[in-house]
Structure 1
Amino acid sequence: MEIANIHEAKSQLSKLVERAMNGEEVIIAKAGQPMVRLVPIRADESPRVGGQWKGRVHIADDFDALPEDIAAAFGIEPQ
């Protein structure tokens, strides 16, 4: 595991990215406290597409609607 402070990360970013791409855990710290982890984006991590369960899930007619405060917290308009 590589732990680099922010100053070191700025000057050696290419090296740290290379190490992360090779599977090594790379942590960037500030004042000795770990702040972020560099991880590679994998080709198999494609963005999720909505609607894949459309037509496969049935919600019963007697299913309770969300309380208004919870719906509002998720940005759902009341029905």
Structure 2
Amino acid sequence: MRTLTIYHLGRMDYTAAWNWQRRIASQRSAGKIGDTLLLVEHPPTITLGSKAHPDHLLVPVEQLAMQGVTVVRCDRGGGV
């Protein structure tokens, strides 16, 4: 029988959750842990993927920050 470990992380900064996810994925790939599901909510966040350019944002980063929106460059594919 397979088991699934579920972590309910609540509301967490995108980068902090991303670090959790990478750590869990590394452990899972190494066979150190079983299947795992992370449940998390992020504050307003815009991610810039590997093909994104800052000029793809329609609003300056500084203005987004004043509105409580975080912009994070990440390693996923795609744009904004």
Relative to its length, the structure with more helix (as a share) is: 2
Question: Is the TM-score greater than 0.5?
Answer: no
TM-score normalised by L of structure 1 = 0.27
Relative to its length, the structure with more strand (as a share) is: 2
Larger radius of gyration: 1
* Structure showing greater relative contact order (alpha-carbon pairs closer than 8 Å, 6 or more residues apart): 2
TM-score normalised by L of structure 2 = 0.27
